[in-house]
Amino acid sequence: MEPISPQLLLRLGALGIVTVIVQIAAIGQLEIFGSNADITPLVVASAGLLCGSLTGAGYGFAVGLFVDMALVQTLGVSSLLYLAIGYGAGKAQELRDPQGAAVPVVVGAAATFIAIVGFLLLQFLLGVDAPVSWELLWDILVTILINAALAVPVHWAVRRWLTPALPDDPRRRRRRAYTTGGLSPLSRA
């Protein structure tokens, strides 16, 4: 594994700070079908898909810790969940090299499910009382659907922001079109 470049570290830090501030100040305040979108797990999953498992895990931990401190909630709960999301998305990228258009949607929906259900489970294990009802199930389902719809534009924005700082990866290079015309030099025999 290559060390993280300072430029990538600065871009990830700025992305994390902006994501948490925008989530808390704006997106968290908008209500859609009785639920709210949460772009934080989408950004962590996208960073994991682009940067790899270890960078995704470290980024997820840092963003989760910032979320916990900003919302003044139990420290470490979001860190643990976002660490798992970043690592899992990065591992999926390392093992399968996903290039399909549906990958951000599937990974975003899975990341949202892990974030919501994991948070509820950890709060239950910590002894926090929370009402369990059909409304909670509806809220979970609507949040997952909203985040799945937001996954592609969020992934596009994260990729656009991080690409200049990512290490050169042969899988990321685009194939050049053969522009001189005629047959390929490989086919001349």
**Domain boundary assignment for the chain:** 6-165
Q: What are the distances in angstroms from CA 127 to CA 115, 120, 121, 122, 123? A: 18, 11, 10, 9, 6
pLDDT at 173 over 80: no
pLDDT at 95 over 90: no
Please tell me the pTM assigned to this model: 0.84
For the stretch 18-21, contacts whose Cβ atoms lie closer than 8 Å and that sit 24 or more positions apart, written own/partner, are 19/43, 19/63, 20/63, 20/66, 20/67, 20/70, 21/70
Average pLDDT (172-189) is 54
Average pLDDT (12-32) is 92
* Distance in angstroms (rounded) separating the CA atoms of residues 166 and 82: 21
pLDDT at 88 over 80: yes
pLDDT at 127 over 90: no
Percentage of residues of the chain with pLDDT beyond 70: 86
94 compared with 169, residue with greater pLDDT = 94
pLDDT one-digit tens code per residue, 47-56: 999 998 999 9
90 compared with 101, residue with greater pLDDT = 90
What pLDDT score was predicted for residue 186? Answer: 61
171 compared with 158, residue with greater pLDDT = 158
93 compared with 43, residue with greater pLDDT = 43
What fold, for 6-165?
A: Arp2/3 complex 21 kDa subunit ARPC3 (1.10.1760)
In whole numbers, what is the pLDDT of the chain averaged over residues? 86
List 35's β-bridge partners, or say none. Answer: 32
| pLDDT band (50, 70, 90) for residue 179 | low
